[in-house]
Amino acid sequence: MNKVTPPPSVEADQSKGQLSARIRSDIERRILSGEWAPGYRIPIERELMETYDCARMTVNKALVALAASGLIERRRRAGSFVSQPLVQSAVIEISDVRAEVEAIGQTYSLEILSRRQRTSTASDMKRLDVQTPRPVLAVLCRHLAGKRVHAFEDRLIDLVSVPDAAELTFEKDPPGTWLREHVPWSEAENRISALNADAALSAHLGVKEGAACLQVERSTWRGAQPITAVRMYYPGDTYRLVAHFSPKGN
């Protein structure tokens, strides 16, 4: 049974409002510290009532506040669970997936599914916006946040512009992180779309077939030369794109 041990100061709380705030604070602290990870089932209301020696209304008030803040989700007849963290990414930035995962307090890891050097196919040339065949590195990988798939990546790297990439295994840094740190670029383009996962994508992301997903396509260039073209796929319930700007475009 999941138990919460309240600090001695709880006994000093005189009002229901103070006690409700204390319950909320205790649960919030455990979540933000990582003690209770995403998906962890929070003690049921009756257990919290016994632990804090209070009425159901007091416990319910704390849980309602936690749900409103997005820290927990309440499921009818199942209980309350720590929410999966929701990642935010600026629309116009070149994001670093590893940094995104670490910023929400999750352990980052990378799975390289395939890594192939080849002469560009017709599809590759269209993605890189080039007219003649050229050597490319094609990488498929999955980015994990803890044990959950954070994103699936389908990337092409132009080996004419980035010949050093041919020797990389990406064991130390994921492809996007390495490119950000080693390859200067002068222009980038993002294309964002929503889609439902087909059988292949659902297997890569660990979601149900037909689940809502977000696709971010990004291309970067240095002058007229392409550097990389990548498609990033995210489960629709864990990712949010954000744009902040002024009337002057700053």
More confident position, 130 or 185: 130
Contact present, 146 and 38 (Cβ < 8 Å): yes
Question: What is the C-alpha separation between 49 and 202, in angstroms, rounded?
Answer: 41
8-82 classified as CATH 3.30.1330.40: no
Q: Which of 45-54, 91-100, 165-174 has the lowest mean pLDDT?
A: 91-100
CA distance 235 to 214: 6
Question: Using one digit for the tens of pLDDT, what is the confidence trace for 10-38?
Answer: 444 446 678 988 999 899 888 877 788 88
Please give the pLDDT value at position 18.
86
Helices 56-68 and 45-52 cross at an angle (nearest 10°) of: 120
Question: Which of 46, 47, 33 minimizes the C-alpha distance to 82?
Answer: 33
- Beta strands 108-119 and 79-82 are unpaired
- Whether residue 170 contacts residue 139, with contact meaning beta carbons closer than 8 Å, is answered with yes
| Cα 103 from Cα 14, distance rounded (Å) | 37
pLDDT of residue 198: 96
Residue 222 has pLDDT above 90, yes or no: no
- Angle of CA points 126, 133, 220, to nearest 5°: 50
Instruction: Examine domains 8-82 and 87-242 and report if their fold is the same.
Output: no
Q: What is the mean pLDDT of the chain?
A: 86
Beta carbons of 62 and 24 less than 8 angstroms apart: yes
- Tell me the average pLDDT across 157-177: 93
Residue of 231, 193, 230 lying closest to 213 (CA atoms): 193
pLDDT score at 242: 66
Rg (the chain; Cα; Å): 23
Give the pLDDT score at 11.
47
* The token pair that represents 24 in the structure block: 């909320």
In whole angstroms, what is the distance from residue 230 CA to residue 247 CA?
30
> Hey, where are the domains in the chain?
8-82, 87-242
State how far the Cα of 45 lies from the Cα of 58, in Å rounded to an integer: 10
For 207-218, what is each residue's pLDDT tens digit?
A: 999 999 999 999
Q: How far is CA 204 from each of CA 55, 123, 142, 152, 215, rounded to the nearest angstrom?
A: 45, 21, 7, 6, 13
Q: What is the CATH code for 87-242?
A: 3.40.1410.10
